[in-house]
Amino acid sequence: MFAKLAQPFPLGATLCDQGCNFSIHCPDNQEIKLVLFDDENKKTIIDLNHQYMGCRYAFVPDIKAGQQYGYQIKDKLEYRLVLDPYAQALGKAPFYVEPFTAEKSWEFAKSVVVDHQFDWQKTTLPQVPYEETILFETHVKGFTKLNPHIDEQYRGSYLGLCQPKVIEFFKAQGVTSLQLLPVTSCMSEPHLLKMDKVNFWGYNSLCFMAPEPRYAKDDAVAEMKTMVRELHKHGIEVIMDIVFNHTAEGGEGGPKFHLKCLDKNYYLQDYSKNYLNYTGCGNTLDLTYQPSLNIVLDTLRHWVTHYQIDGFRFDLAATLGRNRHRFDTQSAFFKAVAQDPILRKIKLIAEPWDVGPDGYQLGHFPRGWNECNDKFRDTVKSYWLEGNNNVKEFATRLMGSRDLFSAGGWPDKLPVNFISYHDGFTLRDLVSYNHKHNHANGENNRDGHGDNRSNNHGVEGESSNFSVIHKRERQKRNLMTTLLFSFGIPHLLAVDSLSHTQGGNNNAYCQDNEISWANWALSGEDECFSAWLSQMLAARKQVMSPFIRAFSGHERGHHRIHWHRSNGQGMTAEDWQGLEAFALYLGLYKDGNELMFLVNSSDIPTRYRLPPGSKWSVICDTSESRLSQRQTQTTYMQSANSLSILYRP
């Protein structure tokens, strides 16, 4: 009877009324055995009597959810316990003391059988349109760990992120979509373990389908689902940042958790069978190999089906389309996602590069993919913070980087524009530091990017000088206004809404402490900026989103676009070489709504002549710390180093 219940697919542990089917892909280790553990850690070893296409499998009766298990293999002369690569939960947070020997593997975290029944309380998916999407990059633990407005037991957890006060904050800020830093199970790299540090960001995947236990009070599976459900109730999407380009097993000499012991072909290898490192993390997953492609696709469907995830941001996504040394937009992965009835409906965001050859692929991902636009980041920071007056480049980014992303593919092909990300300076540090200060990472300040394009405005770090603070706050508003009123999907770092500083650390990946934890003790300036940002996000949805929608697809050529000097005359070819004060006029159709962008990067106030007609409403003027409802008609005096957005319905 039970032999008939045994099946090679799906891989992993699959429950039914009679018990559980266990199946694992393991062509490199045919002597593998299933090991079950009871509550006292006593083990039962079970033969995997069936095999098919490199899979070994067996059906075990009377297994219930919560059963811990692993797989025994022979590693040279020792028996090693390995995780199920398809494990859907882990029994505890993974940890070991270097080196990770076969003996220590038996005390490591174990795979857990999961029953995915859950009361979703008839919640529906938010399905936020692309042109209305506001991405809020958030660390599950870091954002709530110090939040005094929620019960202490929930701080730094999945449940903390969905507490009423936190959701109230998200709603007040106008957030539509939380982009969570990795919440799949993670193992810190050996060099961090030696320094008694952890991979706080989580970009070192252990088991792709298992939620990270560190963020759970009791049950990571149920608590993560609860978080998603409660956020969905309030119309907030959940986007997962996910890492398929490499795994926590590292390169040659790295720890053995599963894939290395089961089938080396999971990874890209050179001709001497050494691991190719196109990720900077020791190994590179090979998606031209069917089992590797399978686990990635199965993982994506797993999160969408069982957790109702709304989309994914793919770390170093060029790897996913890589055929060894080349990137291919027609790769099997892209084709497989495009035809999948579950995956083709969700948001797909690519970090469009990796560190291997042919690795920079901005603008080259297929239809249905949005891409993180680092050219927007670099151009806008250089323009406002470095005085790099490249008007043509700035204008191109403002208008949606159409040199890379044709408006014919909008809104679903809009670029993801950003100023700050988890890696790099926070918004506050961008205007407070000229140099990175990563000494706490233990690498003598050698780590982290050197090209920050920041400006400390005369003082390195924190300052009580009113003039310095005034300049910094204005530049924060310049950067955010440019981001929110450019054509694209705005990506904001969540802690920027609180003006959080990391003390100049631009690579705080191993700082599970106050450096990374959002500081909720806001100063007067911080409170003011948070309120301003909230109002600006509301203004973007009301004013800018319709323009993005109108300028997308077939209707894009039916609108008015004019570039002016401050005196109202059209810009000349010479003006595009470095004009410091210019205006962008946008109008819908022949006589529809109108927008004006008054940009003054010079050091002197400039008076702008406005197009004739009825009065313009001032959406914002970045020289002012608060939004004021007022109107202007014929001219407008724009302060130095600032910009304004004007609107006429």
Provide the residue ranges of all domains of the chain, joining segments of one domain with +.
2-112, 130-140+165-248+277-547, 553-648
Dihedral angle sign, alpha carbons of residues 296, 185, 370, 246: negative
CATH number of 2-112: 2.60.40.10
Per-residue pLDDT at 3: 63
Point out the catalytic residue in the list 137, 212, 315, 621.
315
Q: What is the dihedral sign for C-alpha 175, 317, 366, 124?
A: negative
Pairing of strands 635-638, 370-373: unpaired
Residue-wise pLDDT for 194-206, tens only, equals 999 999 999 999 9
362 closest CA partner among 332, 402, 404: 404
Query: Quick one: average pLDDT of 523-541?
Result: 97
Domains 2-112 and 130-140+165-248+277-547 share a fold: no
User: How does DSSP classify residue 195?
Assistant: T
Q: Which two tokens stand for residue 545?
A: 């989103």
Query: What are the tens digits of pLDDT across the range 426-475?
Result: 999 999 999 999 999 999 999 999 999 999 999 999 999 999 999 999 99
Is residue 648 within a helix (H) or strand (E), and if so which, with residue range?
strand 642-648
The structure tokens listed for 464 are 């009580």
CB 583 within 8 A of CB 575: no
Give me the architecture of the 553-648 domain, per CATH.
Sandwich (2.60)
Domain 130-140+165-248+277-547: give its CATH superfamily: Glycosidases (3.20.20.80)
* Residue 214 near residue 180, CB atoms below 8 Å: no
The first and second tokens of residue 610, run together, are: 């406005």
**pLDDT tens figures, 204-247:** 999 999 999 999 999 999 999 999 999 999 999 999 999 999 99
Q: How confident is the model at residue 30 (pLDDT cuts 50, 70, 90)?
A: confident
Does residue 594 have an active-site annotation?
Answer: no
Question: Given a cut of 90, is residue 2 above it in pLDDT?
Answer: no
Instruction: List the Cα angle 584/382/435 in 5-degree steps.
Output: 155
Place of tokens 């309120």: 531
**pLDDT tens digits, 396-418:** 999 999 999 999 999 999 999 99
**Listed residue (59, 58, 80, 84) closest to 70, CA to CA:** 84
pLDDT in tens, 155-204: 999 999 999 999 999 999 999 999 999 999 999 999 999 999 999 999 99
**DSSP notation for 299-366:** HHHHHHHHH---EEEETTGGGGGEETTEE-TT-HHHHHHHH-TTGGGSEEEE--B-SSTT-B-TT-SP
Query: In whole angstroms, what is the distance from residue 634 CA to residue 312 CA?
Result: 47
The pLDDT, as a whole number, for residue 4 is 76
- How sure is the predictor about 555, in pLDDT bands with cuts at 50, 70 and 90? confident
Task: Name the pLDDT band for 334 (thresholds 50, 70, 90).
Answer: very high
Mean residue pLDDT of the chain comes to 97
Residue 259: how many other CB atoms lie within 10 Å: 24
Per-residue pLDDT, averaged over 488-512, amounts to 98
Go through 617-629 and write b for each residue having 16 or more CB atoms within 10 A of its CB, e for each that does not: ebbbbbbeeebee
How many whole angstroms separate alpha carbon 429 and alpha carbon 34? Answer: 51
3-class secondary structure, 477: helix
Q: Taking residues 530-556, report their average pLDDT.
A: 96
| Catalytic residue flag (residue 423) | no
Q: What does the pLDDT look like over 86-137, one tens digit per residue?
A: 999 999 999 999 999 999 999 999 999 999 999 999 999 999 999 999 999 9
**Share above pLDDT 90 across residues of the chain, in percent, rounded to a whole number:** 97
Among 249, 263, 351, 371, the active-site one is: 351
Q: How confident is the model at residue 420 (pLDDT cuts 50, 70, 90)?
A: very high
The residue assigned the tokens 């992965």 is 333
